[in-house]
Structure 1
Amino acid sequence: MTSIITNASAISALSTLRSISSSMESTQAHISSGLKVGSAKDNAAYWSIATTMKSDDKALSAVQDALGLAAAKTDTAYNGLDTTIDIVSTIKAKLTTAREPGADKDKINKEITELKNQIISTAQSSSFSGENWLYNTSSTAPTTKTMVGSFTRSSTGSVSVGTISYDTSNSVLIDTNDATRGALTKAVTGYGTYTNGTAGSTGTYFLINASSTTSAAGSVVSISSTTTDAQVEQMLSAVDTMLKGLTDAASTLGAANNRIDTQNSFVKDLRDTITKGVGRLVDADMNEESTKLKALQTQQQLGIQALSIANSSADSVLSLFR
C-alpha cells in the first residue's frame, strides 16, 4: 500500500541511517582517543578494572621512586663502608710492618694517623638526603631504617605497603656521643703472641678517638718507638677483629642493597605488565577500527541514497493524477 501520510520506506531508511551515524560516531571516538573503552558506559566491567589498575600503577610509580631513594642511601653507605675496609686493611698492613725488627714506628704511626683521618672524612661524607649510616652524632642510638619496597592488593581488594628494613647500628663506624656504639670507636680486645694456641698477653684498643661524650675503655691504636712488640701484636689483633666486624656489616648492607635492586627491577617489570594488561582491556585496535569506519562510510552513502529513493516515492503518486 502506498500512503502519502506515512512513508514507511523513508522511516526505515532514516532509522538505518541513524544507526549507521551512531556507529560512526562511536568508531571515530575510538580512533581519535585510541580507546575502545573510554568510559564506564562503553564497558563497565573493563573500565572498572582498568581504572583500578591505573591507580595501582601510579602507586607503584611512587614505590619505584622510593626504591630509587633507598638504593641511593644504601649505595652511599656501602661505598663508604667498602672504602673504610680498604683503609683498615692498610692500617693492618702498617702494623704488620711495625712488628718487623728495626722498623721506624714513629714514621709508620704518622701514616696510620693520616689513614685514620681519612676514615673520619669518609664516614662524615657518606651522607645522602640528610642520612648518614656510618657517622652518628645523635644522642640517641642508631635505629632501624624502613624503606618503602612494595605495594600490594589482596584478593579482597585491600591494599598494603611493604617495607625493607636495615638496622643502621650494624654499620655505624664512629659515634661522637657514645663510643661503644661505633665499630671503630668502641674497645676491642687484642691478643699478643700465641704459644701452643694460647694467647700470651691481651690489651684493649679502639681505632678512632672521636672524643665521644661516653668514651671507650682501653687505648687508641697508636705506636711509637717505645711501643713493644707485644703491644703491636695486640693492636694488630684488635684491628683484625674490627676488620671482621666491618666485613660482616658490609655483607649485611650489600644484601639489603641487592634486595632493593631486585625489587626495583621487579616493580619495573610489574608496571610494564600492568600497562600491557590494561591496554588489552581498553585500547582500540586501530586496524579494525579503520576498516570499520570505511565500511560505515560506505553504508552511510548507501543509506542516504535509500532515503532519497524512499522520499521520491511521493512523486510517483502525483503522476497518477495527471
Structure 2
Amino acid sequence: MSSILTNTSAMVALQTLKGINANLTKTQDEIATGKSVASAKDNSAVWAISKVMEADVNGFKAISESLSLGESTVAVARQASETVTELLTDIKGKIVAAQESNVDRAKIQTDINALRDQITSVVGAAQFNGLNLVSGTDDVDILSSLDRASDGTVSASNITVQRQDLTSSAGTLGTGTDLSANATLSAATATNTGNSVTLTIATDADVSADAFEINVGGATLSFAAGEITGDQDAAATAINNAINALGLVGIEASVSTNVVTIASTRAFEDVAVSATKNGGATGVTLSDTTIAERAETLTFSASATVSEGDGYQMTVGGTAYTYVAGKGETFEDVARGLKAAIDGGGNADITTTVTQNASDQWVLKIDNNGASSVSLARAGAEDGTASGGLFGLGGIDVTTNAGAEAALGNIETLIDNAIDAASAFGSAEGRIETQSNFIGKLTDALQVGIGSLVDADMEAASARLQALQVQQQLGTQALSIANQAPQSILSLFR
C-alpha cells in the first residue's frame, strides 16, 4: 500500500543517515582531540580510571620536583662533610708536626686556628634553600612517593635524611632524670702517687751460690751464681740498684732490708713483673705480678642505653666538663666527648684516654701528674641540648707537650665523625637519586597506560572516517530516492 502521509522508506533512510552522521561526528571528535574517551559520556568507567591515573601522574611530577630539591640539599651537605674531612685531615698533619719539640708550635697553632675557622665557615654556609643538614639534630623528611592501596586510599612515603651535626657546640646538661648511676667513678681524688709491688728475698745467710732473674716491664735482669755475695739483704740491695740503673721511665725501686719495693707512676700502662731464684719461685716472693696503671677511671654501664639529650659531666679539680649525646650515639661517644672536653681544659697535669674493659664497658681514664691531688666527681641527666659532632675542635691546643699529645687522639675522633657524616649523606643521596629515576620511569609507564585507555587509534579512525563519509553520501542518496516515492502516486490520477 502506498501512502502520501507515511513514507516508511524515507523514515528508514533518515534514521540510517542520522546514525551515520552520529558515528561520523564521533570519529571526527576522536581525530580532533586524539582521544577515544574524551569525557565521561564516552565511557564512564574508563574515563574515571584515567582521571585517577592522571591525578597520580600530576602527583608524581610534584614528587619528582621534591626529590630534585632534596637531592640538591643532601648533595650540598655531602660536599660540606667531605670538605670538613679534608680540613680535619690538614689539621691532623699540623698536630703530627707539633709532636716534635724543636718546632714552632705557636705558628702551628695559628695554622690550626685558621683551618678551624674555615671549618666553621663551611658548616655555616652548607645550606640549600635555607635548609642546613650539617647543623642541628632534627631529621628531615623528603616526599618520595604516593602509595595507592587497593581500596583507593592514598598514603605518602618519605625518605628520612638524618642531620649530621658538624658544629663544635658544647651542648647543655639537662635537668631531667638523674643518670649518674650509669657512670661509676673509681675514686673521689686523683693523685700523682703510683702503684707498687714488693719483692721479698727469703732469709738466706749466703746467696753467693744463687742465680736471680728479675723482669720489670719487659726489661730483664739476670744475676748468675756468684755475682751477688752476702745474705738476703745484699741480694735485695743488688736487685734494687740494678732496677734503678735501667732508667725505666716511671719505674723506681727502693729497698728495706730484704724487701724491694718496685713502684710505677706510668699512666694508662700496667707493668708486668716476675722474679725467680735458681730458675724457680722458691726463695723470692712477689706481692703481685702486675703493677697497676696510675689513673682513676669513669666506667660506663654495659647495659644502659644512650638517648639523644643524655648528658654526662666530669668535674676535675673544681672545673666541670660536659658532653651531651646526640642521636644514635653510644657510651663510646660520651667517653670520647668527655675526654675532648677535659683535654681542652688547659690543665697540663691532667691527661686522659678512652678504653674498653674486659666486660665491654667503655672507660674514661684520668691521670694526674701534678704535685697536688685533684678532686673528681661525676653527674648525669636527661633532656639536655646535644653537643656538636665536632665538639672538642675548639679545645685543640698544640702549644704544650700535653696539648699536642692529647690533640693527636682527639683529632681522630673528629675525623671519624666527619667521615661518618659524609658517608651517611652519600648513602642518602644515592637513595634519593634511585627513587627519582624510578619516579620518572613510573610516571612514563602511567602515561602510557592512560594513553592505552583513552587515546584514539588514529589509523583506525582515519579508515573509519573514509568509510563513514561514503556511507553518508549513500545515505543521503537513499533518503533522496525515498523522498521521491510519493511522486509516483500522481500517475494514478492522470
TM-score normalised per structure 2: 0.55
The aligned residue for residue 279 of structure 1 is: 451
1:254 lines up with 2:426 in the alignment: yes
The aligned residue for residue 2 of structure 1 is: 2
CA drift at 1:237: 1.6
Structure 2, gaps ≥5 residues long: 173-322, 327-332, 344-350, 354-364, 368-384
CA drift at 1:186: 5.3
The amino acid that maps onto 1:34 is G
The aligned residue for residue 172 of structure 1 is: 166
- Distance across 2 between alignment mates of 1:5 and 1:111: 113
1:75-114 matches, within 5 Å, as: 75-100=75-100, 102-114=102-114
CA drift at 1:90: 0.9
The aligned residue for residue 150 of structure 2 is: 155
The amino acid that maps onto 1:268 is G
1:5-84 matches, within 5 Å, as: 5-84=5-84
The SS at the match of 2:88 is helix
CA drift at 1:213: 12
Q: Give the direction of change, closer, same or farther, for the CA distance of 1:29–1:219 in structure 2 (3 Å limit).
A: closer
Equivalent residue for 1:245, pick from 417, 421, 427: 417
The amino acid that maps onto 1:51 is K
Higher-Rg structure is: 2
- Distance across 2 between alignment mates of 1:31 and 1:311: 33
Question: Do 2:145 and 2:156's aligned partners in 1 also have CA atoms closer than 8 Å?
Answer: yes
1:209-248 matches, within 5 Å, as: 220-224=395-399, 227-228=400-401, 231-248=403-420
The SS at the match of 1:222 is coil
1:257-272 matches, within 5 Å, as: 257-272=429-444
The SS at the match of 2:36 is coil
- Distance across 2 between alignment mates of 1:159 and 1:172: 37
The amino acid that maps onto 1:269 is K
The SS at the match of 1:6 is coil
CA drift at 1:72: 2.0
- Distance across 1 between alignment mates of 2:16 and 2:394: 99
Q: Give the direction of change, closer, same or farther, for the CA distance of 1:313–1:173 in structure 2 (3 Å limit).
A: same
- Distance across 2 between alignment mates of 1:243 and 1:70: 26
- Distance across 2 between alignment mates of 1:111 and 1:85: 16
- Distance across 1 between alignment mates of 2:94 and 2:85: 14
The alignment covers a number of residue pairs equal to 297
The amino acid that maps onto 1:221 is I
- Distance across 2 between alignment mates of 1:37 and 1:220: 72
The aligned residue for residue 197 of structure 1 is: none
Q: Give the direction of change, closer, same or farther, for the CA distance of 1:307–1:176 in structure 2 (3 Å limit).
A: farther
- Distance across 1 between alignment mates of 2:440 and 2:56: 13
Percent identity of equivalent pairs: 36
Question: Do 1:180 and 1:187's aligned partners in 2 also have CA atoms closer than 8 Å?
Answer: no
- Distance across 2 between alignment mates of 1:171 and 1:27: 64
CA drift at 1:62: 2.1
CA drift at 1:291: 1.5
CA drift at 1:12: 1.0
The amino acid that maps onto 1:241 is T
Q: Give the direction of change, closer, same or farther, for the CA distance of 1:147–1:213 in structure 2 (3 Å limit).
A: closer
Q: Give the direction of change, closer, same or farther, for the CA distance of 1:16–1:219 in structure 2 (3 Å limit).
A: closer
The amino acid that maps onto 1:166 is V
TM-score normalised per structure 1: 0.83
Q: Give the direction of change, closer, same or farther, for the CA distance of 1:173–1:217 in structure 2 (3 Å limit).
A: closer
CA drift at 1:63: 1.7
Question: Do 1:78 and 1:254's aligned partners in 2 also have CA atoms closer than 8 Å?
Answer: yes
The aligned residue for residue 208 of structure 1 is: none
CA drift at 1:166: 2.5
RMSD between superposed Cα atoms in Å: 2.9
- Distance across 1 between alignment mates of 2:82 and 2:421: 10
Question: Do 1:172 and 1:181's aligned partners in 2 also have CA atoms closer than 8 Å?
Answer: no
The amino acid that maps onto 1:162 is S
- Distance across 1 between alignment mates of 2:168 and 2:109: 20
- Distance across 1 between alignment mates of 2:63 and 2:86: 34
Q: Give the direction of change, closer, same or farther, for the CA distance of 1:120–1:192 in structure 2 (3 Å limit).
A: same
1:126 lines up with 2:126 in the alignment: yes
The aligned residue for residue 320 of structure 1 is: 492
**Worse-superposed segment, 83-92 or 72-81:** 72-81
The SS at the match of 2:143 is strand
Question: Do 2:168 and 2:392's aligned partners in 1 also have CA atoms closer than 8 Å?
Answer: no
Structure 1, gaps ≥5 residues long: 137-141, 194-200, 204-211
Q: Give the direction of change, closer, same or farther, for the CA distance of 1:101–1:85 in structure 2 (3 Å limit).
A: same
- Distance across 2 between alignment mates of 1:12 and 1:192: 107
Q: Which has the higher helix share?
A: 1
**Worse-superposed segment, 144-153 or 99-108:** 99-108
The amino acid that maps onto 2:414 is M
Question: Do 1:134 and 1:174's aligned partners in 2 also have CA atoms closer than 8 Å?
Answer: no
Q: Which has the higher strand share?
A: 2
CA drift at 1:117: 1.0
Q: Give the direction of change, closer, same or farther, for the CA distance of 1:188–1:64 in structure 2 (3 Å limit).
A: farther
